[in-house]
Amino acid sequence: MKRIIFEILLVLGLGGAGAFGFVTFQKEKASTTQLAQLTEQTEGSGKKLEELTAELEKAQKEVPPLQSKALQLEALREALVNGEALRDLEAAYKKEKTLSPERLAGLGALRLLTKGGDDPATVEAFQKALNASDWGSRRNLICASQKALASAGQDVKVLSECLPTGVSKMPLADEGKAVKSEKPVKVEKSDKDSHADKDAHGDQAKDGEDSKPGEKDAKKAPHWDYEGEMGPENWGKEFAMCGRGRSQSPVDIRTPFEKTKASVVAAYQNGPLRIINNGHTIQVNVAEGSKLRVDSLPYDLVQFHFHRPSEELVDGKPQAMVVHFVHKNKEGKLAVLGVLLKEGNENPGIKQLWEHAPKKKGPEVAVDGVKFNPANLLPREMEFWSYDGSLTTPPCTEGVKFFILKTPVNISREQVEQFPFKKNARPVQPLNNRQISAS
């Protein structure tokens, strides 16, 4: 059975690798023999697809511990069944005569996995790496396989973008992006696994503010935007989960609601003001100590940031803006508290923030002698709507709990206009089978 699962992983891996190569290849010299081998293998994999699909179904029934992984694979399998991934791959090989040595190393790693498939240590390491990675990104699939091979003792060149880049990266995705931190204590060392942070830090890496010399590839990390070619409707091309996810955020909040008894309590405290314009939003990175309690389970407030207009709609209508408070618990689970900002009187908390918010994209600013309490941005009432969603920015990772407060707070029209982004809101996403709860 292990072997079967492994083959499925391999086919998926090849598909992913091809797609990955397709979007990120570089025109550098490479061995044509290797390419030929890869193409051959890919064709072989393509033929076996039907067979493997059946095996996957069987595997789902027979191997309960692998069930959730199998479900994740299902999403990727779909891309293969409808030919998307294979077409990508074929197109990549047809159009391009050469792939960069690094890309080849990535593909080569997957090839090595074929041979190493009987070695339980390799399989186990691969599974482990996959479990720890975000399947929403094709790059992570490659990173996972490379790391698995490396940790199983194989001589594998690991892509530079797969290498841990030190503690200056938060293991959170974009919503949870904490950017360069002077106090990297909150960064979990366990982030040695291929996590999605690199994707999420695409722009940041470009800034070079926390990239190391020689991290050439990191600087080519995928870019995204709120309009144009890299706008939300195209995020799925680079970040699979944004296009394929079934529990995406934001959503249009409307009845019917399910009554919930859950409680949400924000215990935020005063702390030094660290604020950044990261090119997508204004974000305040928060020092340790502020917490959100969801049914008395603590989540640490990591950062908060703004969207204009509000990403969430209520009965189809947006508010002027929204602030997202991003929290993370000990297990690494994310919870976002959303506070809608409604046009009205001036907001003194916002006033203080806007005074220090950089107009242009750049590094984090630690404002000397200024403290800020995030509680200043909360309404008195903590009644909320809640649902299970995702990061609203690439890589759109799911499994994020959302709590949107029913009571908005004021922001003046001038303050809205002072926000340096005219529009930085992802459109609402289908609810699919989800249920919105109301307190």
Total residues binding Zn ion (CB under 5 A): 2
201 is catalytic: no
- Say how far residue 269 (Cα) sits from the centre of its chain: 28
Should residue 327 be labelled a site residue for Zn ion when binding is judged by CB under 5 A? no
Which residue is catalytic, options 55, 175, 238, 311? 311
383 is catalytic: no
CB 419 within 8 A of CB 321: yes
305 is catalytic: yes
Which positions ≥6 away from 434 have C-beta within 8 Å? 247, 251, 387, 388, 389
**Rounded least distance, CB 356 to Zn ion, Å:** 20
Q: Which value, in Å, is the radius of gyration of the alpha carbons in the chain? A: 22
**Rounded least distance, CB 175 to Zn ion, Å:** 5
CB nearer to Zn ion: pick between 55 and 174: 174
Rounded to whole angstroms, the Cα distance separating 277 from 361 reads 5
Whole-angstrom CA distances from 19 to 84, 103, 114, 115, 147 are 9, 11, 19, 22, 19
Rounded to whole angstroms, the Cα distance separating 123 from 156 reads 15
Which residue is catalytic, options 102, 161, 165, 280? 280
State which of positions 377-406 bind Zn ion (CB under 5 A). 392
**Rounded least distance, CB 426 to Zn ion, Å:** 8
DSSP assignment, residue 157?
A: P
392 is catalytic: yes
CB nearer to Zn ion: pick between 79 and 425: 425
**Rounded least distance, CB 203 to Zn ion, Å:** 15
Q: Which of 280, 324, 327, 328 binds Zn ion (CB under 5 A)?
A: 324
CB nearer to Zn ion: pick between 42 and 347: 347
Amino acid identity, position 54: A
Q: Exposure string (b/e) for 232-244, b if CB count within 10 Å is 16 or more? A: beebbbbbbbbbb
**Rounded least distance, CB 249 to Zn ion, Å:** 8
324 is catalytic: yes
Q: Hey, is 411 helix, strand or coil?
A: strand
CB nearer to Zn ion: pick between 193 and 312: 312
Q: Active-site positions? A: 280, 305, 307, 311, 324, 392
Residue ranges in contact with Zn ion by CB under 5 A:
324, 392
